Amino acid sequence: MYVSSVRSAGPARPATRSKHAVPSTVIGLGVVSLITDMSAEMVTAVLPLYLVYGLGVGFLQLGAIDGLYTGATALLRLAGGYFADRLGRPKAVALVGYGLSAATKLAFPAAGSSLGAIGLVIGADRAGKGIRTAPRDAMITLATPADGLGRAFGVHRAMDTAGALLGPIAAFGLLTVLVGDYPAVFGVSFCLAVIAVIVLAVFVRAPAGAVERSRVRLRAGFALLRRPGLRGTCLAAALLGMCTVGDMFLFVGVQRSAGLPPGALPLLPLATALTFMALASPIGRLADRLGRWKVFLAGHVVLLAAYVVLAASATGWLVAVVVLAAHGVFYACTDGVLMAHAAPHVPEPLRATGLAFVQTGQALARAAGAVLFGVLAAGVALGPAFAVFAAALLVSVLAGSRVA
């Protein structure tokens, strides 16, 4: 079991605005995430274009790839969280994850047009993300006072999303100047990922209390699921995750509904990222004051509205603006806010493990949702598939509203 003398935080409560400055550890991790996301999004921004219009994959195959992209992180999130707590070295475990993702960037050119090889590379890249996510988020919670968690995660996610905004721009610029030179995109992406690893290793300090080895046992980690607050959060987040459509499908749906040329597809994530970046910090502060779970559910309501628009098969630029803006609001209300809500339900010696349980359940559910949506879209087309998922998401939000 873990050391009982270390305190355990109670359930999350709406708080007044924190008077504490955002810790330097959070800022440092934000810089690492900014550079890493710029590297990652250079690749992911061109994947739908390459897969749908380059290789001609259908909705069924795209759903499988989108599910792999989301779900490959799942089980390794648990491993990353457990070993971060077990060793008392969340920074070291996070470095392993960032390093693995960096190495995969050089493997994309070798994958060529083979869907199997592309799937393996994506799986390895997402495995690296899975390993690093829980230790990184645990470092944020350990470095931040409880009443400022929403604000801290908002600042981190805003910096993270700045990289997601710059990545597609860089990729689009390279492909324009070098006329479709995909290996150049992968090469620059690799260099950026290596820089991020160096910044984490040299400039980011592990928070106090996260440097001593803990007597953590795997049994104690699974016992966390007996805590009503954490168990309810895991189940509700998983249910909502299963009713969300993968990003690749949403962007393809926007491109087709708005009547945009296929070449515009890599630029669509920019609108989502810009909205997310602008709203992540203020929504994080709002969540600290109003209640983090309420804001989390509100984000899904906004996403539901976007699905309704796509299900109606409306056309024109206004569709693209509304859906992509709603998509960005959804991420601002959910990504860091969920971790801020879950953290106080987990004792500090098991913080990374507890957060990993929430992340793993959500990731597995989203992977299943992406595959299910691909099957549905292949059978009944995009519009009706979005309508079905809108109805399912509405039921899930109502169920999730019962979680405190």
Other C-beta atoms lying within 10 Å of the C-beta of residue 262: 14
Q: Is the pTM for the entire model greater than 0.85?
A: no
Q: How many Å apart are CA 360 and CA 224, to the nearest integer?
A: 14
Each residue of 309-322: b (16+ CB within 10 Å) or e? bbbebeeeeebbeb
Q: Is 10 exposed, middle or buried (0-12, 13-18, 19+ CB in 10 A)?
A: exposed
Q: How many Å apart are CA 338 and CA 119, to the nearest integer?
A: 28
Contacts made by residues 103-112, CB under 8 angstroms, sequence distance 24+: 103/128, 104/128, 105/39, 105/43, 105/186, 105/187, 105/189, 105/190, 105/193, 106/186, 106/187, 106/190, 108/43, 108/182, 108/186, 109/182, 109/183, 109/186
Please enumerate in sequence order all residues whose Cβ is within 8 A of that of 201, keeping only pairs 6 or more positions apart, or say none. 95
Please list the alpha-helical segments (H only) found in 88-181.
Answer: 90-104, 108-111, 115-143, 149-177
Q: For every one of its 404 residues, what pLDDT tens digit does the chain have, with 9 covering 90 and above?
A: 333 333 344 444 444 444 568 899 999 999 999 999 999 888 877 776 666 666 666 666 766 666 666 666 666 788 898 888 888 889 999 999 999 999 988 887 777 667 777 778 877 888 888 899 999 999 999 999 988 999 999 999 999 989 988 888 888 788 788 876 777 888 899 999 999 999 999 999 887 655 455 556 667 777 888 888 899 999 999 999 999 988 878 888 888 887 777 767 767 888 888 999 999 999 999 999 999 999 999 999 999 999 999 998 777 788 888 999 999 999 999 989 999 999 999 988 888 889 988 988 888 898 888 888 888 988 888 889 999 999 999 999 999 998 75
Q: How many Å apart are CA 28 and CA 159, to the nearest integer?
A: 10
Contacts made by residues 108-112, CB under 8 angstroms, sequence distance 24+: 108/43, 108/182, 108/186, 109/182, 109/183, 109/186
pLDDT tens digits along 160-217: 989 988 888 888 788 788 876 777 888 899 999 999 999 999 999 887 655 455 556 6
Handedness of CA 313, 275, 243, 363 (dihedral sign): positive
Other C-beta atoms lying within 10 Å of the C-beta of residue 64: 18
What are the tokens at 46? Answer: 């061109």
Q: What is the DSSP string of 9-70?
A: -------PPP-SPPPHHHHHHHHHHHHHHHHHHHHHTTHHIIIIIIS---HHHHHHHHHHHH
HSE toward the beta carbon, residue 229, CA cutoff 13 A: 18
313 three-state secondary structure: coil
Please enumerate in sequence order all residues whose Cβ is within 8 A of that of 342, keeping only pairs 6 or more positions apart, or say none. 230, 233, 354, 355, 358
Quote the pLDDT of residue 51: 67
**330 — phi, psi (to 5°)?**
-55, -50
- Whether residue 360 contacts residue 131, with contact meaning beta carbons closer than 8 Å, is answered with no
Please enumerate in sequence order all residues whose Cβ is within 8 A of that of 184, keeping only pairs 6 or more positions apart, or say none. 174, 178
The number of angstroms, rounded, from the C-alpha of 336 to the middle of its chain's C-alpha atoms is: 9
